[in-house]
Amino acid sequence: MTTRTLFGTDGVRGRANTHPMTAEMALRLGAAAGRYFRRDGSRAHRVVIGKDTRLSGYMLENALTAGFTSTGMNVLLLGPVPTPAVGLLTPSMRADVGVMISASHNPAEDNGIKFFGPDGFKLSDEAEMEIEALVAGQFEPARAENIGRAKRIDDGRFRYVERVKSTFPQGLTLDGLKVVIDCANGAAYRAAPEVLWELGAEVIALGVSPDGHNINAGVGSTAPEAAAAKIRETGADVGICLDGDADRVILLDETGAVADGDQIMALFAARWAEEGRLKGQTLAATVMSNLGLERFLSDREIKLHRTAVGDRYVVEAMRAHGLNLGGEQSGHIVMTDYATTGDGLIAGLQFLGEMVRTGQPASALARSFETVPQLLKNVRYEAGKAPLDLPAVQAAIAAGEAKLSGQGRLLIRKSGTEPLIRVMAEAEDEALMLAVVDEIVGAVEAAV
C-alpha cells in the first residue's frame, strides 16, 4: 500500500529552510495542490492562504503563491489569522482550497503547511497521497495569459472575529469577568483580545507582541506558567492559553490550575447531553485521552469513540458517525456546529459561557472528573531512523505491556509532527506506571 512520506499527522512540517520546509518544496506543493484542486468551470479558481507569525512564513507564503499562480489559480492572502479562520473562510470565499502556514505549538524555527478542501475541512490521507504523487511528478504550467493573480485580503480577521462572537450564547455577556488571554505571540494575537473585549470582558493580554522569533517561547498552551502567574498577580477569574495557530486551548482557573482538553470535553459533553444536543450521545477523542474521561462519560451513558492521534482523525470520525463534539487531551476541541477544525478561542468562549450561565467559578467547572495517573515522556531521535523497529525496544515494550496487563494501558507512538517517540502509560499504581515508562524510555534512548 502506498504511504505518505511528505505529509505527517497535520500537514507537512519541519525546520524552516531545511527539507521539506524549503521555498522550493513550498513552490512544488503549491503547484501540485493547484493542479489537484483545479476544477473545470467558468469561474476563476482560487486559494486562500493564512499564516501565523513565524519569520519563515513570508518565504513560504511567497513560494506557495508562485506555485499556485503558475497553475492558473488566484491567491487570496489573509495574513496572520488562526488556523480555524482558514477553515471558515475557504468555503465562505468560494475557494477551491485553503492553506495555513504554521507549525502550531512547535518552536519558531519550525514551520508547516496544512491544506483545507473546498468544504473547509482538512484533507484525507488519500488526497494527501495524491498531492504527494503530483509533487514528485512533472507539472504542466498554465499558459502565459492564464497565470493567476494574488491580492491581500484586509478583512479576513474581522470576518473571523464576528463568526467567533456569534458562537457565544445569545443574551449573555462577559461583563464583570476578568480574563487572562495568552496568544503565544501567534496567529490570534489580535483576534482573541478583540473578541473578548467586544463581548464585555476585562482583558489582560499576554503573548501579543510577535517578532517572528518568539512564537510559543515561554507563553501559550505549552507554557501556561506565565498566564498562571498573571492570574494570581491580577486576581483574574480565568485564563485562556492558545497555541501558535490558535487551534488548541488550555484553560486555567482562578488559582492558576490547569484544565486540559479532556476536562473541557467532559464539561461540554455532559452539558450538551443534558440539553439533548450531543449528537449520537457520543464524544470523539483520541487514544491519548485519560481513562478518567471514559469513566466519567460512561457514568452518564455517553459513549467515547477513540481515534488515532491528530485532530484531523477526530474530525474524520465525527463526520463519519454524525457527531458534533470531539477533540484531544492536548486542547484541540472540535465543535462542528461552529467550526470545521479545532478552535481554541471558540472553546474558550464556550467555557466562559458556562461560567456566566451557572455563576460558578472556573475551578468548579474545570474539574469534571478525577484523572487516572498518566505519564507521558518523549524521546528525540535522528530523523529517518526507526527506533521502534529495533528488537531491544520491542522487547521492552512487550515487557511493559505484560506488567500493565489488567492494571492500566500503554501507548507508544511516533509523533507525526516532530522526530519524537512518545511513551505514555496509565495506571492506578503510579510506581508501576513510572517504572514501565522509564524502562521503555531507557531502551529507546539506548537505541538512538
Of 52, 66, 67, 68, nearest in space to 16 by CA: 52
Q: Which residues contact 316 (CB under 8 A, 6 or more apart)?
A: 124, 307
Is 104 an annotated catalytic residue?
A: yes
Query: How many helices and strands, by DSSP H and E, does the chain display?
Result: 14, 18
Q: How many CB atoms lie within 10 A of CB 23?
A: 17
Of 363, 338, 343, 366, nearest in space to 169 by CA: 338
How far is Cα 213 from Cα 221, in angstroms, rounded to an integer? Answer: 17
- The residue behind cell 457514568 is 299
Q: Which residues contact 257 (CB under 8 A, 6 or more apart)?
A: 228, 363, 366
The C-alpha cell of 26 is what? 513550498
Contact of 371 with 292, CB cutoff 8 Å: yes
Range list of H helices, 250-340: 261-275, 291-299, 311-321
Q: How many CB atoms lie within 10 A of CB 193?
A: 19
Q: Which residues contact 446 (CB under 8 A, 6 or more apart)?
A: 392
Contact of 293 with 304, CB cutoff 8 Å: yes
Q: Which residues contact 443 (CB under 8 A, 6 or more apart)?
A: 392, 393, 395, 396, 397
Helix (H) / strand (E) containing 412: strand 408-414
Of 95, 118, 136, 105, nearest in space to 7 by CA: 136
Of 328, 206, 339, 219, nearest in space to 264 by CA: 328
Q: Which residues contact 1 (CB under 8 A, 6 or more apart)?
A: none
- The residue behind cell 488550555 is 250
Residues β-bridged to residue 152: 77
Residues β-bridged to residue 304: 283
Q: C-alpha distances in angstroms, 107 versus 60, 138, 406?
A: 16, 33, 38
Catalytic residue among 56, 70, 104, 330: 104
Active site positions, annotated: 104
